[in-house]
């Protein structure tokens, strides 16, 4: 977990620089600036409506930002469709509600992107899919439909699907918020393993135990701005801002 500290000047793979966004007149993101080094794990937390999901959704252009710059691995994220596609190839995403394709089997959910968008051979994609399903520990579910799986299993399939494109960065948008309590751990375990394997991760989550264990940097957002950012040991033991302290008192029982 100390690698980030030791790495004197890691070149950031994701950069948000003074990003601003409005919904109508409502200022949802205010001067959000965040750099993420290769292999580093960022946990973004904050009360609902604080702009944390919106921030990471801007990184792969599911949302547009109106001001500021976002650069992913040297490619600027703007209105240019080809640059958006290039960025999306490098960025995997896991959603709160899984968003698996319900009409396709687990295997087809995984292979659809590589086969159709990247022209990977079907047998090759299937081999990779089985490999990833083993990694998330559900290879035996490959031929089932998402509706036949539990929430935890679906989310692990979603993680495997995101990994199929061999992304440089993984975005997690509240991956455990829609899960029953007994299933949260199986998903967090997979995420922890992924982190240990060196994946660059930006996770929006309320799982503070996960943040403590995995994060290199914990970012606290409130009302559309970054209020505080610190390594977990510092963040949890000595929060500087009053708003952070209030939030922590609410989520840590």
Partner 1 sequence: MGRRTLVSRAVVPAPGQRRAPPAQAGGLLPWLRRNFFRSPLNALATLLSLAAIAAALPRLARWAVTDAVWSSPDAEACKQAAGACWAVVPEKYRVMLFGTFPYDEQWRGMLAVAVILGLALYCALARPSARAVAASWLAAMAAVFVLMLGGVLGLEPVGTHAWGGLPLTLIMFVGTVAGGVPLGVVLALGRRSSMPAIRAVCVGFIEVVRGLPLVTVLFMASLMLPLFMPEGMSIDKFLRAQIAMTLFFAAYAAEVVRGGLQAIGKGQYEAADTVGLSYRQKMAYVILPQVGRIVLPSMMNEIIRAFKNTTFIGIIGMFDVLRATSTAIQDPVWVRYSIEAYLFIALLYFVMCYGMSRHSARIEDELTVRR
Binding site for partner 1 (CB under 8 A): 60, 62, 85, 88-89, 91-93, 95, 97, 99-103, 112-113, 116-118, 145, 147, 161-162, 164-165
Work out how close the CB of 222 gets to partner 1 at its nearest, in angstroms, rounded to a whole number: 25
123 Cα distance to chain centroid: 28
The answer to whether 139 and 170 have CB atoms below 8 angstroms apart is no
Least distance (Å) from partner 1 to the CB of residue 89?
A: 6
Choice between 113 and 239, CB closer to partner 1: 113
Cα–Cα distance for residue pair 138/130, rounded to 1 Å = 9
Residues linked to residue 204 through DSSP beta bridges, in sequence order: 44, 173
Which CB atom, from 132 or from 230, has the smaller least distance to partner 1?
Answer: 132
Nearer to partner 1, 118 or 241 (CB): 118
Q: Min. distance of Cβ 53 from partner 1 in angstroms?
A: 12
Q: How many CA atoms lie within 13 A of 68 on its CB side?
A: 21
Nearer Cβ to partner 1 (77/218): 77
| Cβ nearer to partner 1, comparing 100 with 211 | 100
Nearer to partner 1 by Cβ, of 119 and 181: the residue is 119
Give the SS3 label for residue 118.
coil
H/E element, 224:
none
For 43, 111, 155, 157, 173, the CA distances from 143, given in Å and listed in that order, are 33, 12, 16, 12, 26
CB of 201 to partner 1, least distance (A): 15
Judge contact between 224 and 30, C-beta under 8 A: yes
CB 112, min distance to partner 1, A: 6
Cα–Cα distance for residue pair 192/211, rounded to 1 Å? 10
Report, in Å, the least distance between residue 77 CB and partner 1: 13
Residue ranges in 7-119 assigned as alpha helix (H) = 52-59, 81-90, 106-112
Tell me the CA distances in angstroms from 128 to 99, 123, 132, 134, one per residue in order: 21, 9, 6, 10
């Amino acid at each position: 977990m100390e690698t980030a500290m030791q790495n004197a000047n890691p070149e950031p793979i994701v950069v948000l620089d003074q990003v601003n966004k409005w919904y109508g007149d409502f200022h949802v993101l205010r001067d959000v600036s965040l750099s993420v080094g290769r292999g580093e794990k960022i946990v973004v937390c904050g009360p609902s409506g604080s702009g944390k999901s919106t921030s990471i959704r801007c990184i792969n252009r599911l949302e547009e930002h109106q001001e500021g710059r976002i650069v992913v691995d040297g490619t600027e994220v703007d209105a240019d469709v080809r640059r958006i596609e290039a960025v999306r190839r490098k960025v995997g995403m896991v959603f709160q509600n899984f968003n698996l394709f319900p009409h396709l089997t687990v295997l087809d959910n995984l292979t659809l992107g590589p086969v159709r968008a990247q022209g990977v051979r079907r047998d090759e994609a299937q081999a990779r899919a089985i490999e990833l399903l083993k990694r998330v520990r559900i290879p035996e579910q490959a031929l089932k439909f998402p509706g036949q799986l539990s929430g935890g299993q679906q989310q692990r399939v979603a993680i495997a699907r995101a990994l199929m494109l061999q992304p440089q960065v993984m975005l997690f948008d509240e991956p455990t918020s829609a899960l029953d309590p007994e299933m949260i751990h199986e998903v967090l375990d997979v995420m922890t393993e992924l982190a240990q394997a060196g994946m660059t991760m930006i996770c929006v989550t309320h799982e503070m135990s996960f943040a403590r264990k995995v994060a290199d940097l914990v970012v606290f957002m409130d009302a559309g701005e970054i209020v505080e950012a610190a390594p977990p040991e510092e963040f949890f033991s000595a929060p500087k801002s009053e708003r952070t302290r209030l939030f922590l008192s609410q989520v840590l029982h």
